[in-house]
A and B are shown apart, each in its own frame.
Chain A
Amino acid sequence: MMDDCFTATTALSWWELRLPMADESLTVAQTAPEDRDLLRRIREGDTDRFADLISRHQQHVVRIVSRRVPADDVDETVHDVFVRAYFGLGQFSGSVSFDHWLAGIAVRTCYDFWRSRHRGERPVSELTDAHHRWIEQALTAASDEEFKDHARREEAAEVLHWALERLSPEHRAVLTLVHLEGRSIREAAELLGWSTVNVKVRAFRARRALRDILSDSSRGGT
C-alpha cells in the first residue's frame, strides 16, 4: 500500500516543483554565541533578557509566519510564538540551533492557527473573473521571468490563498513546507514534530488535493 503510494508520487514527480529557493530562515546550523549567552542569563533568572532574544529573532519569525497566516493575524501569531517559546525554554536542549527550534514553534503555531480556524465556520472566498484571467495568463507563461511577473500580481496571492484555504490544516502545513518552500521530508517532519512516514504520506495526499482543487477551479470544471 505504502509502495503504491510512493510509486504514485513518483508518477506525479512532485520534486519538479521544488525550486532552488528554499527558505534559509528555517535552517541555521548552530546556536549563535549571543543567543547562548542570553539563554544562560534567562535561565539564571534574568528573564528580561528575553526581550533581546525577541529583537534578534523577530524578523526570522515574522518571515515564517507571514507566509502562513493572513496578514491581519500575523502580529497575534508572532506574539503567540514568542510566548510559547518562552514557556518552552526549559525544553530547549541546544541539540539544534535556537533559530531552528524557534522555526519549529512558529510552524506549529501557524498549524494550530489553521486548526482552530478550521473547526469554526469560516467565510470561504470564491474566484472572480480577475482570478480566472490570472490563471489563464499563468498557463501561457513559458520563461522564469514570466512566471515571476505573474507571481508578483495581487491575484496570484489571492488564488494561492483561495487554494490553500480549501486544504485541511495538516495538508496545508505539509504542502507549505515540502512543496512551496522546498523543505526535505526530514526537515518538515522535524519542524512539525511528526514522523517522516506521516509527512511523506501527507505530502503526497496534499499535493493531490491541491491538484483536485485547481482542476475543479477551471471554468469548465465549475
Chain B
Amino acid sequence: MGYSDDELKKLERALTEAFHVPADRPADPGEMTRRVMRTLRRSADAGGQGQGIASGLLDQLVWRVATIAAAVVLAASVLTVQVLRTSTGESTLLLAEEFETTPLFGD
C-alpha cells in the first residue's frame, strides 16, 4: 500500500529534522587527545618520529613519478606502433609492386 507522495515528503522532512537534533555527548576532550597522541607515539616508536608525514609526502612523490612514467610509456608505445605500422605498410607496398612486375608462372 505504502504512502502517498505528500506523506513521504512529510516523513522525509520529519526525519531531516530528527537528523538535526543535537545529540547529547558528554565527552572528555582531554581523553581523546591523549588517546590519539598515544596511538601516534606508539606508531612513531615503531617506525621513527615524523615518519607518517614523510610517508605522506613520499606517497605523493611516488604517485607523481608513476603518472609521468606511465605517460612516457604510453607515448613511446604509440610512437612505436606508428613506426611499425608505417614500415609494415611500406614493405607490403613494395611486395605488391614486386608481384605486379614479376610474372607469376614464368611467362
Residues of chain A whose beta carbon lies under 8 Å from any beta carbon of chain B: 16-17, 19, 21, 42-43, 45, 47-48, 50-51, 54-55, 58-59, 62, 66-67, 71, 74-75, 78-79, 82-83, 86-91, 135, 138-139, 141, 147-148, 150-152, 156-157, 159-160, 163, 176, 179-181, 210-211, 214-216, 218, 220-221
Contacts and interface: CB of A to CB of B under 8 A. Distances in A.
A55 B14 contact: no
Contacts of A135: 11
Nearest to B44: A47
Interface size class of B (residues with CB under 8 A): 35 or more
Interface string B1-33: 111000111111111111111010101010011
Interface of B: 1-3, 7-21, 23, 25, 27, 29, 32-33, 35-37, 39-40, 43-44, 49-50, 52-60
28 contacts: A17-B9, A19-B17, A48-B37, A50-B37, A51-B33, A54-B36, A54-B37, A58-B32, A62-B25, A71-B25, A83-B39, A87-B56, A88-B56, A89-B52, A89-B56, A138-B14, A141-B10, A147-B13, A151-B18, A152-B21, A156-B17, A156-B18, A156-B21, A179-B12, A180-B19, A211-B8, A214-B3, A214-B11
Nearest to B49: A47
Nearest to A18: B16
B34 to A, nearest CB: 8
